[in-house]
Amino acid sequence: MRSTTRLVFRTGLLGLLASALSWPADAAAQRTMKPVLHGRHWIAITGKPLGATAGAGVFQRGGNAVDAAAAMLAATATMFDVLSWGGETQALIYNPHTGKVIGINALGVAPTGATPEFFRERGLDYPPGSGPLAAPTPGTPGGLLVMLAEYGTLSLAEVLAPAMQLAEGYPIDAQTANSMERNKEQLKGWRYSREVFLPHLGEEREAPYPGEIFRQPDLLATLGKLVEAEQQALAAGKSRKEAIYAAFDRFYRGDIAEEFVRGSQEEGGLHTLEDLANWEVYTEEPVMTDYKGIEVYKLTSWVQGPVLLQALNILENVDLQSMGYNSAQYIHTLYQAMNLAFADRDFYYGDPYVEPVEPIQGLLSKEYARQRFEQINWERNDPEVKPGDPYPFEGRTNPYLHLLENWNVVAPTTSDRSASAQDDTYEEDFYAGTTSVQAADAEGWVVSITPSGGWIPATIAGRTGIGMSQRMQSFVLDERENPFNVVAPGKRPRATLTPSIALKDGKPFLSFAVQGGDAQDQNLLQFFLNVVEFDMNVQQAAEAANINSNQMRSSFGDHSSRPGQMTIHESVPAWVRAELEDKGYVLNTRPITSGPINAIFFDRAHGTMWGGSSYHGEDYGIAW
């Protein structure tokens, strides 16, 4: 292993040449496929143009960023933008009145009877990837209602109005309509899904046509019941907040819950009324690290968010600028840092509200990061990277060292590491989608959300119109893989969903999120470094070429990993690719190497906001 000093000197010379060839010195001069959004009063960005319009409309009604974010969340869930109302929501909110970042944990839990033995008896190595047995309890309705009640200003009726109009009928986009058509054979197996998604049953094309009015009367009735509960509470003299919580109670403890459970059980699901009634949203303190004076906030170990903080702590020990943007050494350094952080994710992350307690303090220790940094092989990829031992860095003894000894033996990996072995199913699972919601206003509220779950093909629960989540597949059944993430009733699966907020000098600096399963924090790490290390603006950073590691264990499907495999952008020069192959990487070249990144940059010098949204996909923003 070479010394860090020699490494930086060598890579500095090579990196300067590579960066001059791959990214001009004046990043501000770089043109983008889409323009930067500029706003003074507010910005609303999300996964569908109609969803962004919903947020803009709520802003125009006088709502704050939380109101607008809730409206966009409701709209995208109604449009099945790789999520549904039965999915999960996780959010970070910056409160300008306290100067604090707040975490919202609205991830559903495993229902009654969801045990390792239950799934093993059915011949499964993991909970299934779709269907009623893949579904935890719904989280998105609760997350939306709690955010709105605690931090919004408008009524539920005002915020849900756009979503209700969409449920009544909207011209469906090609992406969603074609997804229904592709998955129609599976959708036909579920009674209520068949009725909603396949209006032309028996014809050559059974899904809606692009531009056709897509109607969801059952979902419209469910949303109407939530508004009705609010109105009844207000008529009884309840406060705005109490009235919104009345809608929460109707969903999780009233007639909506009864129909959801009935519909789930009809399709073979495990949900009970008690599962929904006992579930709650947690408002919690996020985790944070300081990178060169910038505080980066993520949700804690129930999602993968802390891996970005771990990676930043590792990378803080080397001069990234001198390597040059997307030079071979820069890419190698990123890949190795991510491998170390993700190996820790794969073993130590899980539901912090259920025993055992995750060693998050040790994992985010700067001293632990330095130890992990020293383990990097600077010459070649290390396909045998394992989780470290963070326990000494929080004054504890690791009770799971015996499991770490054979951890790589337990891992499901592909036997063929060639690029051609990456089949469509693996790639689809690895990048399993979500959407993102970004909102900010002149008062200072900032909201970053990555909701997901209930994507097509979704099982709709009875006459609720609500598609159930598929997040249970992220659990493991064997503690040797991850003792913190073994499925159990009432427990949250460790999810990939990962909103981000960064502060500088105590004020918002960046709000950013992306869709893309296990690639999310890989892409967000590179986006952040593009802004901080390479002086790109928010749109340039969103469009910039990324790399993705496939070495971590997938959170979906068969949880397999592909050590050394790297997805790399086609713009990366041939000589950089050759250097990477010499380091042991197997490269998959793609024209797009990231899900759509949505972000807001806060320009303190001018008192304005800059919005960025990747040029591919249907993500869209509106600013004023």
- DSSP per position, 281-331: -EEEPPEEEEETTEEEEE--TTBSTHHHHHHHHHHTTS-HHHH-TT-HHHH
Of the two residues 247 and 619, the one the predictor is more confident about is: 247
Q: Residue 56 carries which side chain, given as an amino acid letter?
A: A
Find out whether 105 and 302 touch, Cβ atoms under 8 Å: yes
The answer to whether 463 and 192 are in contact (CB under 8 A) is yes
Amino acid letter, 272: T
Give 10's pLDDT tier (boundaries 50, 70, 90). Answer: very low
Q: What are phi and psi of 42, to 5 degrees?
A: -165, 160
* 492 part of a folded domain: yes
DSSP state of 512: E
Rounded mean pLDDT of 182-194?
97
Longest dimension (CA), the chain: 73
Instruction: Tell me the backbone φ, ψ of residue 490, rounded to 5 degrees.
Output: 80, 5
By the 8 A CB rule, do 341 and 314 touch?
Answer: yes
Q: Is the residue at 404 inside a domain?
A: yes
Cβ atoms of residues 217 and 192 within 8 Å: no
Confidence bin at 424 (pLDDT 50/70/90)? low
Residue 421 is part of which domain span?
4-37+284-434+477-481+488-623
What's the structural domain count of the chain? 1
Q: Rounded to the nearest 5°, which phi and psi values hold at 144?
A: -60, -45
The answer, yes or no, to whether residue 456 has pLDDT greater than 80, is: yes
User: H-helix or E-strand containing 219?
Assistant: helix 217-235
Sequence-separated contacts (24+) of 392-401 with Cβ below 8 Å: 392/362, 393/361, 393/362, 393/365, 393/367, 393/368, 394/359, 394/361, 394/362, 394/365, 396/359, 396/362, 398/359, 399/356, 400/347, 400/483
Q: Are 459 and 468 in contact (CB under 8 A)?
A: yes
Mean pLDDT of 326-348: 97
- Whether 207 maps to a domain, the answer reads no
pLDDT at 24 > cutoff 90: no
Q: pLDDT digits over 277-312, tens only?
A: 999 999 999 999 999 999 999 999 999 999 999 999
Beta strands in 107-245 (DSSP E): 170-171, 213-214
Q: Is the dihedral of CA 586, 589, 546, 495 positive or negative?
A: negative
> Is 50 within a domain?
no
Q: Where are the beta strands (DSSP E) in 468-580?
A: 500-504, 507-514, 547-549, 565-569
* Closest to 433 measured CA to CA, from 617, 569, 186: 617
- State the SS3 of 434-457: CCCEEEEECCCCEEEECCEECCCC
For residue 333, is pLDDT > 60?
Answer: yes
123 is a domain residue: no
Cβ 450 vs Cβ 434: under 8 Å: yes
- Residue 195 sits at the vertex; the CA angle it makes with 189 and 200, to the nearest 5 degrees, is 100
> Mean pLDDT lowest for which of 159-173, 304-318, 415-429?
415-429
Quote the pLDDT of residue 417. 39
- Which residues are within 8 A (CB) of 593 and not within 5 positions of it... i.e. 6 or more apart? 545, 546, 547, 548, 567, 568, 569
Distance CA 372, CA 353 (A): 27
Confidence of residue 2 (pLDDT cuts 50, 70, 90): very low
- Kindly indicate the confidence band of residue 26, based on its pLDDT and cuts at 50, 70 and 90: very low
Q: Indicate the helix (H) or strand (E) that contains 228.
A: helix 217-235
CA 267 – CA 461 distance, rounded (Å):
8
Predicted confidence (pLDDT) at residue 150 exceeds the cutoff of 50: yes
Q: Which residue has the higher pLDDT, 434 or 223?
A: 223
Q: How far apart are CA 365 and CA 360, in angstroms?
A: 9
Residue range 557-572: mean pLDDT, rounded: 94
| Dihedrals phi, psi of 78, to nearest 5 degrees | -70, -30
CA–chain centroid gap for 609, Å, is 23
Is 136 contained in some domain? no
Return the structure tokens found at 182: 């592709």
Nearest-angstrom CA–CA distance, 11 and 323: 5
> Average per-residue pLDDT in the chain?
92
| Residue 524, domain CATH | 3.60.20.40
- How far CA 113 is from CA of 396, 456, 486, 488, 491, in Å, comes to 33, 25, 14, 8, 12
pLDDT at 273 over 90: yes
- With contact defined as beta carbons under 8 Å apart, do 71 and 63 qualify? yes
| CA nearest neighbour of 106 among 92, 119, 117 | 92
Please list, in sequence order, all residues whose beta carbon lies within 8 angstroms of the beta carbon of residue 39, skipping any fewer than 6 positions away: 440, 608, 609, 611, 623, 624
- Specify if 255 maps to a domain: no
The reported pTM is 0.93
Cα–Cα distance measured from residue 596 to residue 542, given in angstroms and rounded to the nearest whole number: 8
- The three-class DSSP label of residue 381 is coil
The amino acid that residue 481 corresponds to is E
Tell me what pLDDT residue 279 has: 98
For 386-403, letters b (16+ CB in 10 Å) and e give bbbbbbebeeeebebeeb
For residue 67, tell me if it sits in a domain.
Answer: no
Q: Which of 330, 227, 458, 269 is nearest to 11 (CA)?
A: 330
310-325 per-position pLDDT tens digit: 999 999 999 999 999 9
